[in-house]
């Protein structure tokens, strides 16, 4: 009878894991010794406790990242969201700083300033359209890394998302940013900036720099900065844990 109960509990655990997370089997393999010990001792509750705790941790981390994504989009996706925030403001690209210096030397500061302003404006317009992309990426988090992320630094979940999701996020966000740069006139201002350099512009190839790529990367950086800020608050401030699961996991 005891054997039957053990096998039933084991099967339920596997079925639950399969429907919850495809990556569960990778994690479960690492726990083989624990499961064997539990079966030998008759302690089936240990198996269930291990399964639930790790699943809860993963779900709590996803909730934290979801909350961070909402916060990031709300903060950055408004007028001045990038432009007025020194932590995320998009500066003149390093490779174009020589262009900026020439413009400022010849009294054409406003064109350099306008170029920076339009880049930040493009990022602000693009951000609200990235929320669904971010949340789809968050759903991909697997159970196997959950505990390590929970026990990591205050931005460990954000860094995980950045590490595993950046390439896919960039591919999906890039067209959104390109559309925003077109609407805000970034490319037009970029060309005007070169025109105002006079003869010096003849020595610089306008096509050498991918402005859209630069704005895309900076938009993503800004999003991750803000998501990390929210994750840190959830970890350190109980009042930021707005769901029972966040309270249970991060409170412990």
Does residue 209 form part of some domain? yes
Q: Compute the average pLDDT of residues 193-222.
A: 72
> Cα–Cα distance between 127 and 81 in angstroms, integer?
10
Does residue 49 form part of some domain? no
CB atoms within 10 A of CB 65: 25
Does residue 13 form part of some domain? no
Question: Would you state the pLDDT for residue 202?
Answer: 52
Q: Is the pLDDT of residue 54 over 70?
A: yes
Residues 6+ apart with CB under 8 A from 30: 144
Q: Indicate the number of domains in the chain.
A: 1
Question: Would you state the pLDDT for residue 232?
Answer: 96
Alpha carbon dihedral 45, 50, 52, 54, in 10-degree steps, equals 180
**pLDDT band per the 50, 70, 90 thresholds, residue 205:** low
Contact 162, 186 (CB under 8 A): no
Contact 101, 111 (CB under 8 A): no
Q: pLDDT, tens digit, for every residue of 114-127?
A: 888 999 999 999 99
Does residue 170 form part of some domain? yes
Q: What is the pTM of this model?
A: 0.74
Does residue 57 form part of some domain? no
Question: Would you state the pLDDT for residue 67?
Answer: 96
Does residue 10 form part of some domain? no
* Residue 39 CB-half CA count within 13 A: 14
| Segment among 104-108, 117-121, 128-132 with least mean pLDDT | 104-108
Q: What is the token pair recorded at 140? A: 């991909």
Nearest CA-CA partner of 214 in 43, 61, 94: 94
Q: Compute the average pLDDT of residues 162-167.
A: 87
In terms of pLDDT, which residue wins out, 112 or 8?
A: 112
Does residue 12 form part of some domain? no
- Domain limits at 239? 62-251
Does residue 4 form part of some domain? no
Compute and round to an integer the Cα radius of gyration of the chain. 25
> Cα–Cα distance between 236 and 224 in angstroms, integer?
18
Burial class (CB in 10 A: 0-12, 13-18, 19+), 33: exposed
Report phi then psi at 77, rounded to 5: -90, 40
Question: Would you state the pLDDT for residue 217?
Answer: 93
Question: Would you state the pLDDT for residue 194?
Answer: 67
């Amino acid at each position: 009878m005891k054997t039957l109960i053990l096998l039933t509990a084991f099967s339920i655990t596997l079925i639950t894991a399969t429907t919850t997370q495809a990556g569960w089997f990778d994690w479960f393999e690492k726990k083989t010794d624990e499961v064997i010990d539990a079966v030998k001792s008759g302690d089936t509750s240990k198996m269930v406790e291990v399964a639930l705790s790790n699943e809860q941790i993963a779900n709590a981390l996803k909730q934290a990242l979801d909350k961070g994504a909402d916060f990031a989009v709300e903060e950055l996706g408004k007028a001045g969201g990038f432009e007025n925030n020194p932590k995320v403001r998009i500066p003149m690209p390093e490779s174009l700083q020589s262009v900026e210096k020439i413009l400022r030397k010849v009294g054409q500061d406003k064109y350099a300033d306008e170029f920076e302003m339009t880049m930040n404006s493009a990022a602000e317009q693009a951000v609200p359209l990235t929320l669904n992309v971010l949340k789809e990426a968050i759903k991909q988090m697997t159970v196997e890394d959950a505990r390590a992320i929970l026990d990591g630094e205050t931005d460990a979940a954000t860094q995980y998302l950045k590490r595993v999701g950046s390439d896919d996020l960039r591919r999906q966000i890039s067209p959104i940013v390109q559309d925003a740069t077109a609407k805000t006139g970034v490319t037009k201002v970029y060309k005007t900036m070169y025109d105002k350099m006079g003869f010096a512009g003849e020595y610089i190839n306008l096509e050498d720099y991918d402005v859209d790529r630069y704005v895309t990367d900076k938009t993503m950086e800004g999003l991750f900065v803000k998501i990390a800020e929210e994750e840190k608050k959830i970890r350190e401030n109980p009042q930021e844990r707005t769901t029972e699961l966040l309270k249970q996991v991060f409170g412990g």
